[in-house]
Amino acid sequence: MPRRPITTSFPSGHAASAAAFAVGVTLESPAWGAVVTPVAASVALSRVSTGEHFPSDVLAGAALGVGAAFAVRGLVPTRGQATPPARPRAEVPALLEGEGLVLVANTASGSAERARALRDALPRAEIVECPPEDVPAELEKAASRARVLGVCGGDGTVNTAARVALRSGLPLAVLPGGTLNHFAYDLGVEDVRDLARALRQGDAVRVDVGRYSCGGEQGLFLNTCSVGVYPELVRERERWSHRIGGWPAGVLAALRVLRADRHPLEAEFQGRTRPLWLLFAGNGTYHRMGLASGRRLDLADGQLDVRVVHGGRRPAARLLAAALAGPLTRSPAHAAVQVGRLRLDHVAPGTLLAYDGEVTEVEGRVELEKLPEALTVYRPITGY
């Protein structure tokens, strides 16, 4: 006969943990939720049957766990929670077994395994694996014989492929395979299954491309373009990433850049010369979702999402205030506006500009603009 508990243990921590885990799994995958829910229920019931808790302890713990699961999902939502708006559909070939697809995989980003998995799903696709220094040349060769140009790598590799696809007039198939995959994820392609389905069904959309120009130099960006502190952080991160890894290098770079004794960038912006710690321009409007970083719901909205952090004595406090301001359009440290074009004048020589993780130097006049619906990319449409 099970013993009767003498004192309460309110609420039951075991029941709370089991309920939170079961609800979290169910919200992400109903099929797996059906598997784990009976296990979680048995954990909760066992606390009563063994005499460890009163039923009220278990019920209160389970309620607490369910509430915690929904609270976390609200604070850090998944990409699938936001329904993308209708996008401009594009006519592209349906590649039932991958025939006509030539995909270039950057082996340095660890993408070779994903590329091979795509070949298993689409056996007639051609996969070219190469180191990063050979990626531009291999993409040019691939474009000369492909019906569809494919790329597997991080955002910098995808940027290179997009330039080749635009010049060649080819649709682009993007398989995320790097440390950061913002464009692919915002597009709705998260794994091999997503891309393979889009290629088989011939599902594609047209998306905007951003372009910067300075003097005789031009470049494209699919995600972001920025001047100020962030390009310095990118350069510092690249210096350390090969030694200690991507994320530790990012933390170290932020600490080194923010602690350094420096002066804000001086540039003419919207008719006024202003000190700026950061000017960020996103290719499309970024939306904050809970505590998660911003993402784009529409890649063909015709807008540059411009965020400015005004100059001050030191960048750290200003950047923190801007981050906390989030979606606010204006604060003492931060301003935000959506425009189709942007011009910076009187940019000092040697100023760094970052675009999709790459860094270059600019000076004088810097212009940013949108190329509306310029690039055709495969993405799964079914269900949207």
Domain boundary among 161, 176, 202: 202
Taking the C-alpha atoms of residue 31 and residue 373, their distance in angstroms, rounded to an integer, is 37
Q: Do 330 and 228 share a structural domain?
A: yes
For the question of whether the overall pTM of this predicted structure is more than 0.85, the answer is no
State the pLDDT at residue 14. Answer: 74
State the pLDDT at residue 331. Answer: 52
Q: Do 111 and 65 share a structural domain?
A: no
The residue ranges of the chain whose pLDDT is under 70 are: 1-10, 27-29, 31-33, 43-44, 47-48, 50-53, 58, 68-87, 109-110, 231, 233-264, 266-272, 288-294, 311-334, 382-384
What number of other Cβ atoms are within 10 A of residue 340's Cβ?
11
Q: Do 156 and 281 share a structural domain?
A: no
Give the count of domains, the chain.
3
Q: Do 152 and 64 share a structural domain?
A: no
State the pLDDT at residue 1. Answer: 47
The answer to the question of residue 143 being in a domain is yes
b/e burial code for range 275-306 (CB count within 10 A of at least 16 → b): ebbbbbbbbbbbeebeeeebbbbbbbbebbbb
Q: 157 and 106 in contact (C-beta within 8 Å)? A: yes
Instruction: Quote the domain boundaries for residue 139.
Output: 101-202
State the pLDDT at residue 291. Answer: 36
